[in-house]
Structure 1
């Protein structure tokens, strides 16, 4: 079957407006992950949360978001991406309202958990729809815009959280960071319902419930100890959970394979996952989001070692955000010059930026802020590299499977990035907190930060090497998966 036979039949004239609506689903989840960081002290003062409850405010969201992403993507394939987007958005708004009205730590944690689940239903639909509503010639630009929105949400979250708390809108304090989602959701629903055209797999079937349960158990066994293990002192349950994860993964894969051979519709279709180069592309994604821990350790460095306020700590990320905005918008032009080398070039810029940052911090006396001009250039360079690499990485992964599996691969890609973030926080964050020591000092924080950014650079360098190997392997859609998509 030729490639043209599996493309969308006729591009919808409103596809860019449809995509703009769906991008809200890509923007809100990372925004709400990062916006909470600067609000934790205010939440602790108002609700009397302890350190364990504060950890759960973050980890309950991150865990349930990660383990539900694959299911959320597949639900869009089977039951309609627009329908799942609006259901997820409604649920996310309701969960945000619960968080904003929370009168106890337990209610806040429950609201955050529901935010994570509903965000995972909403978020994959934008990435999946790139394959479903755009012709091949327009997908690079759509992915560039997706990358810009996805990345800027993490930066804006830091700055917006500090701003809302500093301004204290209508006396709401920290509650404003959750309640701000409500007018956004209502506007998107009001304008989006008449516009958004439904897309789904042509041969939609029922959701693979057993596969869904096994996938969520596998990801839970992996993600929960990565998120909670370090803070809990790596207890026995964390190691047992990590040991169980590969066993559950094997059981999950065997079940999916048997279901596929029996003519069923597995959650993860083995035929689609055998696409040439897909495994290595996902490994690039795993290396790529090692940068996820940077937002945490840089905040600790500028607030703990340089004594910056929460608002200043958020605003200092703005050069990174400017680079992240420019990067994706530059991808279409750079592809005409560099071709498929844009992805390794972008990650290479990040490697240079982190090496430069490590040198700058280590060569500056402790407790003295590095020159802001140099710091701004470095953060811009890292953001630019991230912005160039993210949309091209998405194309590298999602372009290898047929459009019928767009939701599935979008969920897998998003889950891989989330797992990468969890791994980086557990491993590189572990290095940071070990070197910082229990009695953190300016010198120990600075040393820990320097070593940690070098670890991030090493992970990104591994991603560059893998990406270069994929440049020599053209994107193809397997005959089996193509046949099953029609």
Structure 2
């Protein structure tokens, strides 16, 4: 445990904890929906702001880059100044940055606002797991982390759908501006709930700040994710490949530094001992793969429906609504299914998802792209159901073997892993298989996604059963960072 962290008894989670939890879920919803909501609104933004291709890329990727690169430092900063204080400051900054995005009148201004928004989003995200660990007793962690994971996944899925609906509806004449301005009321409610009901003790001593680790980790993640975004936009060219090599070298230096900091007891930024737990180690591989898979899937569906099949943004949203409903149903049933059949349920969910994707590929090829949305509703629902069954229990199973101090350290690391998965998914899947916006390109892309899902289902079988986590020893006293 980091020096200066104090223990707090949480025998029972009172009503205030659940209300504070609702505020945390709102923050998760905002930060995750802003990863994908821009995709369907980008054509409108480009036309209105006359954004260049470079600006378009940064409007989409600038948020994710800033978000991913600052998660680990934000987690440590929260440990230093208090999770509640850091969370409240980040909510205010995120809300203000969202308003700035919604009122930007040039491409460069929107890019800068999105970067600030990403930094603030990381400030919220990096505290969430530590806050939930502090608010709730161990026996409730499975349920609260399932809700946390469901909210994150649902928001990422809802982004393109809601973005298309808001742009089409043009409420109050705001057009694309509304996709950012909607965060103003959400941010105000989040802040009010956290201010009133989030009660965490501030550590009496500041946790050490690993400035060398901060520099190395930020440089590594920025180089890696920037190169992947360049590959996504322009393909596999020498320069981004060289940057990836530099990122890998920086990553090796980061790991060496963190191992040295761990041996010296100087407060490493990255707790490498987390990967000694089988659930966390295997889960890290699985969650990276799934976030890459899901990001590529959202991208492929958006391109297939709008560019290939000529769906409007609104019709695209309607077509994907059964997927969202299926994901919600899978999320609700997944805890019961996992309790009955264990981690095998996750593999089954991915197999169902892959089977439905392949069915969809066969259908659009047989009909030559003529889609009957009513006929497709059930397979699309089942596809979402499989994704929901897989995604929601993954984080609780992954974290089940960690003690509370380790889970606090995972608060910044877990979303960082997810963001790496997003970047890798788009670069490898989208670029390697989907250079042409044609029916054939869609067929190759979606088929590749289904194959990757089947491979990932096999890896998922290595996860430990949630009833018998590797760390079977009694957990130490809960910690509040």
- TM-score greater than 0.5 by the shorter chain: yes
In structure 2, distance between residues paired with 1:472 and 1:394: 13
In structure 2, distance between residues paired with 1:159 and 1:388: 21
- The offset of 1:345, in angstroms, is 2.4
Structure 2 residue 263 is matched with structure 1 residue 264:
no
Which residue does the alignment assign to 1:450? Answer: 443
Which residue does the alignment assign to 1:247? Answer: 249
Unaligned runs of 5+ residues in structure 1 are: none
Structure 2 residue 461 is matched with structure 1 residue 468:
yes
What SS does the aligned partner of 2:234 have?
Answer: coil
Asked whether the equivalents of residues 25 and 125 of structure 1 are also in contact (C-alpha less than 8 Å), the reply is: no
Structure 2 residue 19 is matched with structure 1 residue 17:
yes
Aligned-residue CA RMSD (Å): 2.7
Deviations 1:326-371 (A, max 9, x none): 2221123223321333322222222222222222223222x412x3
Deviations 1:224-251 (A, max 9, x none): 1111223234443211111012211111
- The offset of 1:480, in angstroms, is 13
Which residue does the alignment assign to 2:95? Answer: 93
Asked whether the equivalents of residues 220 and 248 of structure 2 are also in contact (C-alpha less than 8 Å), the reply is: yes
Asked whether the equivalents of residues 8 and 134 of structure 1 are also in contact (C-alpha less than 8 Å), the reply is: no
> Which of 334, 338, 348 pairs up with 1:335?
338
Deviations 1:110-136 (A, max 9, x none): 000111111111123333333332223
In structure 2, distance between residues paired with 1:459 and 1:348: 10
**Equivalent residues in 2 for 1:219-258 (5 A)?**
219-258=221-260
- The offset of 1:214, in angstroms, is 0.9
What SS does the aligned partner of 1:76 have?
Answer: helix
Which residue does the alignment assign to 2:302? Answer: 299
- The offset of 1:281, in angstroms, is 1.6
Deviations 1:7-39 (A, max 9, x none): 964233122212111111210112112221121
Q: Single out whichever of 191-200 and 260-269 deviates more from structure 2.
A: 191-200
- The offset of 1:484, in angstroms, is 12
What SS does the aligned partner of 1:49 have?
Answer: coil
Which residue does the alignment assign to 2:4? Answer: none
Unaligned runs of 5+ residues in structure 2 are: 2-6
Counterparts in 2 of 1:475 and 1:256: CA distance versus 1, 3 Å: same
Q: Single out whichever of 115-124 and 234-243 deviates more from structure 2.
A: 234-243
> Which of 212, 223, 234 pairs up with 2:214?
212
Report the TM-score, using the length of structure 2 for normalisation.
0.91
In structure 2, distance between residues paired with 1:456 and 1:261: 41
Structure 2 residue 461 is matched with structure 1 residue 459:
no
In structure 1, distance between residues paired with 2:95 and 2:117: 8
Deviations 1:399-455 (A, max 9, x none): 232212324313222122221121111111113433x2xxx5xxxx21111211121
> Which of 164, 179, 182 pairs up with 1:180?
182
What SS does the aligned partner of 2:197 have?
Answer: coil
What SS does the aligned partner of 2:342 have?
Answer: helix
Q: Single out whichever of 461-470 and 226-235 deviates more from structure 2.
A: 226-235
Asked whether the equivalents of residues 212 and 267 of structure 1 are also in contact (C-alpha less than 8 Å), the reply is: yes
